[in-house]
Amino acid sequence: MALGGPHILGKSVLESNLEEAVSVWQSSSDCNSFKWTAPTFEFNCFMEMMTSLQHVNPTVRGLRDSPQTMLQNLAERIRKEISLGAQKPFKKVIDVSSGDPHRVDLQHVSFLRQVLAVCIYPQLLEDKCFPLDVKIRAQKLLEACDGASVGSYTASSGLRHVRQSIAEFITKRDGVPSYAQNIFISAGSQRAIMIAVKLLASGEGNTRTGVLIPGPCPHMLYNVLEEAGVVLVPYQLTEERGWAVDLDNMHQALKAARGYCEPRAIYISNPGNPTGHVQDRKSIEEVIQFAAAERVLLLADEVYQDSVYGKDREFISYKKVLFEMDIELAETVQLISFHSLSSTCIRECGLRAGYMEVVNMDPEVIYYFDNTLCGDISTPVTGQLGLDLMVNPPQSGDPSYHTYMQETFFILATLSHNAQWVQELLNKLPGVRCQPVLGGIYVFPRLHLPCGIKEQAKLLGLKADVLYCQKLLEEEGVLAGAGEHGEMTDSFHLRLCILVPHYTLVEVLARLTSFHCRLMGGTVTPTEV
């Protein structure tokens, strides 16, 4: 019987290996001195086939180049040069391009880390340095895991205990019942969005599924949706009104799209990522009515729901508003909302866990959410436990409550202060206009750039704001994000994460101001700003 493995000229690789080994051994004068020499094989034909670009999935090949990836690669190269002793006008690169606060030394939430530490190493249950509520909570979470271990798999849709905790959190937040069977846990909110949209993706040519997305939008959303195989249909937010949602723009985008695809969903983030806009009830009602009239699925990204600090603004979930509207809408509009550990107060991006709640969906369709998640086997268990701790934090009277409240209040106070301070400073720079920031973790100022840099960018095949970020990184060591704003190719923006320690932001703005003033030809000096 032939041995297994790839076959070459009728023999398996393993068979050929064995025959050559026996031949070498038999020809040896001294078996004890036998030394195995690994044979070499010609795999040119095989390698050529595997590495040929024509065999790469066309959908993957068609994914747009990400300016963020290019800038991150450049930042890593600069860091390496500094580590090797290269002389730069700065000592280190500061990354404020994305919402990863741990990268810039923002303190973690003690309660969450303590509970996870005990869950990962249960012997710590005997350690007297941990508060009692930490041990009790860790014990309860371990009991929810198979084998009382975070090393075990879970159901594809997530631990039942955690899904129930999420449902109770939503019920308490909205005053509307939520059910664990409608909650699906995934490896981050982006993965959840991918799964939801993949279930919609169908058709060819003019019948392909389309998804309306705001301009600007989260910088990774383009690739997530394109990988899911849908057509992107941008609708522009109104910058002059603080990046407000404009129904006229939605209707225009939808009408135009019906000539080349079939729009079946609309994505919106509230609070806005990266705009910092927070919708009021009236705006949310208008979007819900739009979704109902046009019969499209509503995808509500609400990851930054815990960071609303604008005057007279509060976070209201799409589900809460929907169920307080007309009964016919409340029972028919299909909604999927998303949340994750990347939230402002918890900000555990690296644990990779998020969830989606499905509302008014056909049970036969809901089955396929679970079925699609099977491909992931299960979301990282530590991330799932983190979700439980996020939606059910220490309560008044618990030993950890005071510390938890102090830590989360400090984060929100820092964020609110940073938002106001950055906005005021940026608006003093020539050619920069920053809209008021009401929530979320970014500012998104507009850049009115000199003709010189725009012409240079055109020659290089770049957008001017991407070239601006590249020069800022090379000259000042600040990694900022370039704007993502749909079809507005004549509009240039900068994305800055403000969920950082204030002293870090002071350093970032000092470098940015110095660079920008040089770029603008000395029309104003950093000292004047």
Question: Is pLDDT of 337 > 50?
Answer: yes
**Mean pLDDT score, 83-107:** 90
Q: CA-to-CA distance for 311 and 496, rounded, in angstroms?
A: 21
Distance from the first to the final alpha carbon of the chain:
81
Whether 36 maps to a domain, the answer reads no
Structure tokens at 486: 């749909």
DSSP-based three-state secondary structure for 356: strand
Residue 10 domain-assigned (yes or no): no
* Percent of the residues in the chain that have a pLDDT greater than 90, as a whole number: 69
Could you tell me if 286 and 410 lie in one domain?
no
Average confidence (pLDDT) over 209-237: 92
Domain boundary among 391, 420, 451: 391
Same domain, residue pair 89 and 167 = no
Q: What CATH number should be reported for the domain holding residue 308?
A: 3.40.640.10
305 shares its domain with 334: yes
* Pair 197, 346 in one domain: yes
Average pLDDT, the chain: 88
Give the pLDDT band (50/70/90) at residue 38.
Answer: low
What is the mean predicted confidence (pLDDT) over 366-371?
A: 85
Number of Cα atoms under 13 Å in the Cβ half of residue 141: 33
129 found inside a domain: no
Rounded to 10 deg, the angle between the 160-174 and 381-391 helix axes is 30
Report pLDDT for 378: 86
User: How far apart are alpha carbons 527 and 505 in whole angstroms?
Assistant: 17
Report pLDDT for 134.
97
Is the pLDDT assigned to residue 4 strictly greater than 70? no
* Residues near 415 by beta carbon (within 8 Å), at least 6 away in sequence: 307, 309, 344, 441, 498, 499
**Are 293 and 195 part of one and the same domain?**
yes
Stronger pLDDT, 30 or 195, i.e. the higher one: 195
Shared-domain flag, residues 307 and 427:
no
| Mean pLDDT on 299-317 | 94
Is 137 part of any domain? no
Residue 310 falls inside a structural domain: yes
Residue at which a domain ends, from 361, 391, 421: 391
Q: At what angle do helices 132-144 and 160-174 cross, to 10 degrees?
A: 120
The DSSP element (H or E) to which 111 belongs, if any, is helix 110-120
Do residues 418 and 500 both lie within one domain? Answer: yes
Q: What is the mean pLDDT of residues 128-143?
A: 96
**Residues 496-509: tens digit of each pLDDT:** 999 999 999 999 99
Any domain includes 112: no
* Residue 51 CB neighbour total at 10 angstroms: 9
Other CB atoms within a 10 A radius of the CB of residue 171 amount to 13
> Which of 100-104, 362-366, 433-437 tops mean pLDDT?
433-437
Confidence class of residue 7 from pLDDT cuts 50, 70 and 90? Answer: very low
Q: Which of 325, 359, 391 is the last residue of a domain?
A: 391
Phi/psi of residue 243, nearest 5 degrees: 65, 40
Rg (alpha carbons) of the chain, rounded to whole number? 27
pTM, two decimal places: 0.86
Nearest one of 212, 339, 210 to 271, comparing CA atoms: 339
Distance CA 99, CA 471 (A): 21
One-letter identity of residue 393? P
pLDDT attached to residue 49 = 57
Q: Is residue 29 a part of any domain in this protein?
A: no
Strand ranges in 101-230 using DSSP code E only, listed in sequence order: 183-186, 209-215
- Residue 528 in this model has a pLDDT that exceeds 70: no
The answer on 384 and 295 residing in a single domain is yes
Q: How confident is the model at residue 67 (pLDDT cuts 50, 70, 90)?
A: confident
In a domain, 257, yes or no: yes
Same domain, residue pair 353 and 386: yes
Residues 238 and 516: their CA atoms lie apart, in Å, by 26
Q: If we measure between CA atoms, which residue out of 96, 54, 45, 101 comes closest to residue 75?
A: 96
Give me the number of domains the chain comprises: 2
- Predicted confidence (pLDDT) per residue in 251-275, tens digit: 999 999 999 999 999 999 999 999 9
Q: Please give the residue range of the domain that contains residue 94.
A: 62-106+402-520
pLDDT value of residue 48: 57
Stretch 52-74: mean pLDDT, rounded?
Answer: 80
Let me know whether 261 and 341 are in one domain: yes
176 and 72 housed in the same domain: no
How many residues can be counted in the chain? 529
Residue 110 has pLDDT above 70, yes or no: yes
CATH number at residue 90: 3.90.1150.10
Rounded mean pLDDT, 298-310? 95
Could you tell me the pLDDT band of residue 8, with boundaries at 50, 70 and 90?
very low
Position 377 scores a pLDDT of 81
Q: Stretch 226-231: mean pLDDT, rounded?
A: 90
What integer is the mean pLDDT of 227-237? 93
Q: How far is CA 160 from CA 154, 342, 388, in A?
A: 9, 21, 11
Residue-wise pLDDT for 343-358, tens only, equals 878 888 889 999 999 9
- Per cent of the chain over pLDDT 70 is 87
DSSP for 459-487? HHT--HHHHHHHHHHHHH-EE-EEP--TT
Per-residue pLDDT band for 390 (boundaries 50, 70, 90) equals: very high
**Is 296 in the same domain as 189?**
yes
